[in-house]
Structure 1
Amino acid sequence: MDLFPIFLKIAGRPCIVIGAGNLAEAKIDSLLAAHAKVTVIAPEARPHVVERAAAGELEWLRRDYVEGDLLGQFLVVAATDNPVVNRAVFREATEKNLLCNAVDDPPFCDFYFPSVVRRGDLQIAISTAGASPALAQRLRKEINSQLPLDVGDWLTDLGNLRREVTQMEPLNEERKWLLHQLAQREVCGYEACPSRLLAREHALKNPFPEKKS
């Protein structure tokens, strides 16, 4: 199966989860971690979901799903313990041109939740197209054990330095070369950081062209 790998910006977007049990809990947390505006529909909920609703982090509608509940949503997750309900949610989502994931039911999924390794802004997502979530989890554990814990902090410093470079140099092959070089070096937040000094020295050789008056 050919899947299109993509990272979505869903902050502030309305996302709905049908179900609030074991299948739904991790999906709800993932959506909230991305700052989505989450609505949960379920007659009962796991204590963790109840707590997050009480804290105002999500809206919990304490009832069963009914057709029409998906109106105005951006992303849909069907995560009840009843496949018939989940597939009904998927059908409504399809009719409304909404992307839907029916948990643990690959034929009724427009997308999958990957296994993810996180270090700050760095995310490495692993998918098996629903063929073996257990394998994806094993690979995640292996990568997680090998990836340095401080790579997220390094990425933050590298990102700050990249923004400096894009302000100092025009978009050309010289700038592209420099950014690739910096991605292979130690970067820190200090003014005397060797990588920062390299970037500033390079900018003197690759300045923006002078504007004609």
Structure 2
Amino acid sequence: MTEYMPIMLDVREMKVLLVGGGKIAGRKAGQLVAAGADLTVISPHAGSDILKMEEAGQLRWIRREASEEDISDYRIIYAASGDEALNERLAEAAHRVGTLVNVASRAQAGNFIHPAVLRRGRLIVAASTSGAGPSAASALIRELDERFGEEYETYAEFLYFMRCKVRETVDEPEIRHRLMRKLTETDILNQIRQDRFVPWSDIEAAAWIAREREE
């Protein structure tokens, strides 16, 4: 069994190639555009989602069949055409040059896969079966959707705000770690759930940091 390494990847302005223009390619294009990728689509035909994104200037669409030679200019390849043989040829070419490649028609042909994802603002919860059963991972995410409500978006924003303040004022890594752990032990999440939470000001954040770092 392939042992995948879970990561969160920043693809802003990264050159990404998406081969294919159907529904699967359209969904991937939307995700990549939302993440800020420098996206090129190669396909003789494209669905309405890709057309709309091209018209909005969010991606480039090259209207032809892709070939192995196309991959050399890109850091990530998505082989999502309806032609499985083409997808596999692109994957083999990507492997030869060490490029990351995702293959929609057969996950094992690529070297990375996408998990099912639940987003709550900065909070991202991912689930994967390592390609064994994507529908099972999606079902798990639906269960987690009921577990993690909208309050987690506010909570994650609060933690991000405080992490920035801690990094600005505390130099010692071990104290930073202790302060962030203490934050997760506070009653903030319950306050948000009960609609009692008032966002902290810079002064309140600084006072909390000063008080807790001495303990």
Length-normalised TM-score, structure 2: 0.88
Name the CA distance, whole Å, in 2 between partners of 1:74 and 1:189.
40
**Could you say if the C-alpha distance between residues 62 and 172 of structure 1 is closer, same or farther in structure 2, counting changes exceeding 3 Å?**
closer
**Could you say if the C-alpha distance between residues 173 and 65 of structure 1 is closer, same or farther in structure 2, counting changes exceeding 3 Å?**
closer
1:122-180 CA distances to partner (integer Å, 9 max, x unpaired)? 11111111000010000010101110212112211221112212222232434322210
Say if 1:21 and 1:45, in contact at 8 Å, map to a contact too. yes
Say if 1:157 and 1:189, in contact at 8 Å, map to a contact too. yes
- Report what 1:119 is aligned to: 120
- Report what 1:94 is aligned to: 95
- Report what 1:45 is aligned to: 46
Question: Helix, strand or coil: the match of 2:68?
Answer: coil
Question: Helix, strand or coil: the match of 2:10?
Answer: coil
Question: Which structure is higher in helix share?
Answer: 2
Matched, 1:171 2:181: no
Name the CA distance, whole Å, in 2 between partners of 1:155 and 1:10.
21
Question: Helix, strand or coil: the match of 1:94?
Answer: helix
Return 149-158 or 187-196, whichever deviates more: 187-196
Identity %: 26
Match runs of 1:22-61 below 5 Å: 22-61=23-62
Name the CA distance, whole Å, in 2 between partners of 1:43 and 1:172.
53
Matched, 1:189 2:190: no
Name the CA distance, whole Å, in 2 between partners of 1:112 and 1:148.
26
Say if 1:154 and 1:188, in contact at 8 Å, map to a contact too. no
Question: Helix, strand or coil: the match of 1:69?
Answer: helix
Say if 2:165 and 2:205, in contact at 8 Å, map to a contact too. no
Q: Which runs of 5+ in 2 are unaligned?
A: 189-196
Name the CA distance, whole Å, in 2 between partners of 1:41 and 1:32.
15
Name the CA distance, whole Å, in 2 between partners of 1:169 and 1:192.
15
Say if 1:23 and 1:81, in contact at 8 Å, map to a contact too. no
- Report what 2:68 is aligned to: 67
Please point out which of 183, 201, 210 is paired with 2:211. 201
Question: Helix, strand or coil: the match of 1:100?
Answer: strand
Question: Helix, strand or coil: the match of 2:90?
Answer: helix
Length-normalised TM-score, structure 1: 0.89
Aligned positions, number: 205
- Report what 1:3 is aligned to: 4
